[in-house]
């Protein structure tokens, strides 16, 4: 059940995906509190981090030194990737992940993220630079390829393993699919067959049933959950319990749910400051209310509230509505 990266044991093999603007420090702490094998930081641009442009490092809040946390780096130049890796490793990063999977245009237009899958020779220069710069385990996240004519994840995985990468995570779509259609978990099996290092399946995994199917079709060693955790920070622990027999999480309902959401909300305000926190928190509050089938009028009031007090005063009304159905919602 465990995946070993040097002295780090990823137990259970259910991981939280890096999601820009979502898997910030408050959310990662919440997910980790329920139980997750590994959580991954939001993607950090390597050059901007090293050059210390205002706010980049502070906003990322990488959780350096935290147990079961990986720091994900992105970039297109070997020098900056290596320098960023050295910095986060020196500051306590336990695992460094290289992003070659992000499909966002603002990332791929700069020849970072999944755009690197169009030029594996160049991609390998980044991998070799990071692996050579640090002693901590280096992992890699990518897609099946750039498009249907460029399904080169198995080749990238083979070359990455030879370069020293310790684990691969594969999102079962091409870059050109973005998040459309369905993840092709069976295609991940070709990556699993190509390497001896652990392979993690990612894409459309939202509960125990989809996780079980993804593992069966891909032959992967574990799963990574991203959007499925939105509004359900306990889902990783729930999946781990059903698939790997770990202790079942206590899924909060009623007053316990209100307390959890209030705590998460307060953590976001503390982390970002009140003004920015009010804005950042809205998406998380929206996901919690989606799961609770919150009345549209109450939902609108909370999402347009101008003070934290207004939000906190209406959480009971928002989350304890008679029609609320939580736990396995999603």
Residue 47 annotated as lining a ligand binding site: no
Residue 227 annotated as lining a ligand binding site: yes
Three-state SS for 143? Answer: strand
Secondary element (H or E) of residue 95: strand 95-100
Which one of 102, 142, 150, 176 is the catalytic residue?
102
Burial class (CB in 10 A: 0-12, 13-18, 19+), 250: exposed
What Cα–Cα distance (Å) separates residue 128 from each residue in 140, 264, 314?
12, 39, 52
Residue 264 annotated as lining a ligand binding site: no
Structural tokens at position 121: 């020779």
Residue 284 annotated as lining a ligand binding site: no
How far is 2 from 226, CA to CA, in rounded Å? 20
How far is 328 from 310, CA to CA, in rounded Å? 28
Give yes or no for a contact between 261 and 315, defined as CB atoms under 8 angstroms apart: yes
Angle CA 233–90–51, to nearest 5: 90
- Confirm whether 150 is a catalytic residue: no
Residue 252 CA from chain centroid, whole number: 22
Q: Residue 40 contacts by C-beta under 8 Å, 6 or more apart in sequence?
A: 15, 16, 17, 18, 23, 69, 70, 71, 72, 97, 141
Residue 226 annotated as lining a ligand binding site: yes
Q: What is the dihedral of CA 290, 293, 296, 300, to 10 degrees?
A: -40
How far is 182 from 169, CA to CA, in rounded Å? 17
How far is 302 from 313, CA to CA, in rounded Å? 9
Secondary element (H or E) of residue 255: helix 254-272
Three-state SS for 270? Answer: helix
Query: Could you give the residue numbers annotated as active site?
Result: 102
Residues contributing to the annotated binding site for FMN? 72, 141, 171, 226-227
């Amino acid at each position: 059940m465990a995946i070993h990266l040097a002295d780090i044991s990823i137990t259970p093999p259910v991981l939280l995906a890096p999601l820009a603007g979502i898997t910030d420090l408050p959310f990662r702490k919440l997910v980790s509190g329920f139980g997750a094998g590994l959580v991954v930081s939001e993607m950090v641009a390597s050059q901007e981090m090293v050059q210390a442009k205002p706010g980049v490092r502070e906003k990322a809040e990488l959780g350096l030194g935290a147990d079961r946390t990986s720091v994900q780096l992105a970039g297109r130049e070997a020098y900056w990737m290596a320098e960023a890796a050295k910095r986060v490793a020196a500051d306590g990063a336990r695992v460094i992940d290289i992003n070659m999977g992000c499909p966002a245009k603002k990332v791929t237009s700069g020849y970072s993220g999944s755009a690197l899958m169009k030029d594996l020779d160049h991609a390998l220069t980044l991998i070799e630079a990071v692996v050579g710069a640090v002693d901590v385990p280096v992992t890699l996240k990518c897609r099946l390829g750039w498009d249907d004519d460029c399904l080169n994840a198995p080749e990238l995985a083979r070359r990455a393993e030879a370069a020293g990468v310790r684990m691969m995570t594969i999102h079962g779509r091409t870059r050109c699919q973005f998040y459309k259609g369905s993840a092709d978990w069976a295609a991940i099996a070709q990556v699993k067959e190509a390497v001896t290092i652990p392979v993690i399946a990612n894409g459309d995994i939202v509960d125990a049933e989809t996780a079980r199917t993804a593992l069966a079709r891909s032959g992967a060693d574990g799963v990574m959950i991203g959007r499925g955790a939105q509004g359900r920070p306990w889902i990783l622990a729930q999946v781990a319990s059903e698939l790997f027999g770990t202790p079942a999480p206590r899924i909060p309902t009623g007053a316990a749910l209100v307390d959890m959401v209030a705590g998460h909300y307060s953590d976001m305000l503390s982390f970002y400051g009140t003004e920015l926190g009010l804005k950042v928190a809205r998406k998380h509050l929206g996901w919690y209310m989606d799961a609770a089938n919150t009345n549209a009028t109450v939902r609108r009031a909370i999402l347009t509230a101008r003070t934290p007090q207004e939000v906190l005063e209406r959480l009971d009304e928002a989350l304890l509505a008679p029609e609320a159905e939580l736990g396995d919602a999603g």
